[in-house]
């Protein structure tokens, strides 16, 4: 059954394979590895209509493709070859599997705001993390190369995780009061604030100082 993505219908590779076997008395589907890094697979489908090929590459930045690059690329390559052979190409040569693999079934999220990136940097500073460590953490969680590549939801999730790490570390520390608003702050926050602003400020007041 076709899957609708952005108003267009796409057929899965499994459905294309089934349709081909049901319609044809004889069909040959062969695959070969063209490259290993990144993985690139070529599929060749031979039918009484002729010979058709499809090529697909795995994207190592995506978790499922990083874990099973050969399987994912092979599935997409076979789907494309069958699409060129005329099986399941409702509105596109691309299969439903390929569109989902590419993330086309998901709405594109807006990029992280400058305020979110600033908060990530501030939390990293509070934790004593260098920018390289912050970036490495974001890459491990979301597959991005730089912090500005985070979308708004990823940035929010990263901020939450950093706060959780910070909270765990701060449970062992004595607290003091922010000189501006009297909010409780930890020793680490107070010391970092003293170095940067010359007074003990909570994170919210530090952000105000930066404006």
* Ordered mean pLDDT values, 10 residues apiece, the chain (211 residues): 56 82 88 92 91 88 77 88 78 52 55 91 91 91 88 92 84 72 83 88 88 69
Q: What is the pLDDT of residue 184?
A: 83
* Region of 6 on the Ramachandran plot (φ > 0 left; ψ -120 to 50 alpha; else beta): left
Q: What is the pLDDT of residue 96?
A: 45
* Count of Cβ atoms closer than 10 Å to residue 199 Cβ: 13
Q: Each residue of 153-210: pLDDT tens digit? A: 999 999 999 998 888 776 655 567 888 998 888 777 888 888 888 898 998 898 888 8
Please, which residues bridge with residue 52 across strands? 45
Q: What is the pLDDT of residue 51?
A: 94
Q: Classify domain 3-101 by CATH number.
A: 3.30.160
Domain boundaries, the chain: 3-101, 114-210
Cβ-contact 113, 52 below 8 angstroms? no
Q: What is the pLDDT of residue 119?
A: 93
* Count of Cβ atoms closer than 10 Å to residue 122 Cβ: 17
7 by Cβ neighbours in 10 Å (0-12 / 13-18 / 19+) ranks as exposed
C-alpha distances in Å from residue 198, one per residue of 94, 107, 194: 60, 45, 4
Q: What is the pLDDT of residue 29?
A: 92
Q: What is the pLDDT of residue 10?
A: 63
Q: What is the pLDDT of residue 94?
A: 54
Q: What is the pLDDT of residue 171?
A: 63
Q: What is the pLDDT of residue 23?
A: 86
């Amino acid at each position: 059954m076709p899957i609708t993505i952005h108003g267009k219908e796409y057929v899965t590779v499994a459905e294309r394979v089934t349709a081909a076997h049901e319609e044809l008395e004889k069909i040959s589907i062969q695959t070969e590895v063209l490259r290993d890094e990144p993985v690139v697979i070529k599929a060749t489908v031979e039918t009484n209509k002729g010979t058709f090929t499809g090529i697909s590459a795995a994207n190592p930045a995506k978790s499922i493709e990083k874990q099973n690059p050969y399987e994912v690329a092979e599935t997409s390559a076979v789907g494309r070859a069958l699409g060129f052979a005329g099986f399941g190409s409702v509105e596109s040569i691309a299969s439903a599997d390929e569109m989902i693999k590419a993330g086309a079934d998901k709405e594109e999220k807006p990029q992280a705001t400058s305020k979110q990136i600033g908060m990530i940097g501030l939390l990293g500073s509070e934790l004593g993390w260098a920018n390289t460590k912050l970036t490495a953490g974001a890459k491990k969680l979301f597959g991005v190369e730089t912090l500005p590549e985070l979308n708004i939801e990823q940035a929010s999730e990263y901020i939450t995780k950093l706060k959780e790490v910070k909270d765990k570390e701060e449970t062992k520390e004595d607290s003091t009061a922010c000189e501006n608003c009297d909010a409780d702050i930890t020793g680490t926050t107070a010391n970092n604030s003293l170095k940067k602003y010359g007074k003990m400020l909570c994170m919210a007041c530090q952000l105000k100082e930066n404006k």
